[in-house]
Amino acid sequence: MARPRKQRDDTQPGRRPSRRISLTWMLPNLLTIAAMLSGMTAIRFAFLEKWEAAVLLVALAGVLDALDGRMARLLKASSDFGAQLDSLSDMVVFGVVPSIMLYLWILEDGGRLAWAGCMYYTACCALRLARFNSELHEKPAWSANYFVGVPSPGAAFLALVPMVASFRFDWDFLSSWPVVAGWLVIVATGAISTIPTFSGKNIHFPRAWALPALGVFALLVAALVSRPWELWVVIAALYVGLIPVSMLRFAHVRKVNKPAA
């Protein structure tokens, strides 16, 4: 007959009380890990030269990355642990994976010079994430709708534009490693710049715009299903085109909220 297990007495001196973690706390972190593993799997498909699958996995990682923070806030499960895990995942998925994918795709032809561009991109993403984490509690409330520089998911989205465009457009310059390397350097520089870019966190619009907005959303879903790569390029072009608008808007908001001398 088995001996009954002695119950642990957490009230004894020197013993730490047992700590239990709820599933609610785990869910956002599980999404973060899923995003990181999606990015890692994208590298595997890149080695197999299955470029479309690799890009889709990076896109999936981006969706999961967008959901984990929102779920944490919704479930009131935000934590320092989750924030650090999210930052490390972003570094892998958006800082390392695009560099490796582009190098295996076309930049390998450029040798050391092209590889230097890949390293520059990854280093810039690391610096951008470090700056974001260090300034997280220092930004004034009026600047909440703006990022400083291009965020790392946006940088990865833009960095992969040449590869994505090559899926549907027969443009010779897309297969030119100097063009791709130059584009990668430009995107990386945008990530570490101080250019204000829209964050989309506090967007509000009149109630009358609700139905048109739903119609636009339906159109985007239809385009995503039927023409995903073309939609990727169009959204990237719109994002770049909105940067001057965000700069002007930021300057106006900063002027309005500037404390009186």
Is the pLDDT at 15 greater than 60? The verdict is: no
pLDDT value of residue 217: 77
Q: pLDDT digits over 114-132, tens only? A: 999 999 999 999 999 998 8
**pLDDT for residue 46:** 96
Question: Which comes out higher in pLDDT, residue 120 or 133?
Answer: 120
Q: Is the pLDDT of residue 7 over 50?
A: no
pLDDT of 16 reads 55
pLDDT, residue 205, reads 66
DSSP states along the chain? -PPPPPPP-TTSTTPPPP----HHHHHHHHHHHHHHHHHHHHHHHHHTT-HHHHHHHHHHHHHHHHHHHHHHHHTT---HHHHHHHHHHHIIIIIIHHHHHHHHHTGGGGHHHHHHHHHHHHHHHHHHHHHHHHTTTTS-GGGTTEEES--HHHHHHHHTHHHHHHTT---GGGG-HHHHHHHHHHHHHHHHS--EEE--TT----GGGHHHHHHHHHHHHHHHHH-HHHHHHHHHHHHHHHHHHHHHHHHHHHHHTPPP-
Give Cα 6 to chain centroid, integer Å: 49
Least confident among 50-64, 68-82, 230-244: 68-82
Span 131-151, average pLDDT: 79
- Domain 25-202+210-255 fold: Four Helix Bundle (Hemerythrin (Met), subunit A) (1.20.120)
Based on its alpha-carbon atoms, the radius of gyration of the chain, rounded to whole angstroms, reads 22
- Kindly give, in sequence order, each residue whose CB lies less than 8 Å from that of residue 65, ignoring residues fewer than 6 positions away: 32, 35, 86, 89, 90, 93, 94, 153
Q: Phi first, then psi: give them for residue 155, nearest 5 degrees.
A: -65, -45
Contact 46, 106 (CB under 8 A): no
Q: Which sequence spans correspond to the domains of the chain? A: 25-202+210-255
Q: What's the whole-number mean pLDDT along residues 160-186? A: 91
Residue 11 has pLDDT above 50, yes or no: no
- Residue 197 scores a pLDDT above 80: yes
In this structure, how many other beta carbons lie within 10 angstroms of the beta carbon of residue 113?
Answer: 11
Per-residue pLDDT, averaged over 4-13, amounts to 47
CB 55 within 8 A of CB 163: yes
- The percent of residues in the chain predicted with pLDDT above 70, rounded, is 87
* pTM across the whole model: 0.84
Mean pLDDT of 1-22: 52
For the record, the structure tokens of 134 come out as 């260090």
**What is the model's pLDDT at position 136?**
66
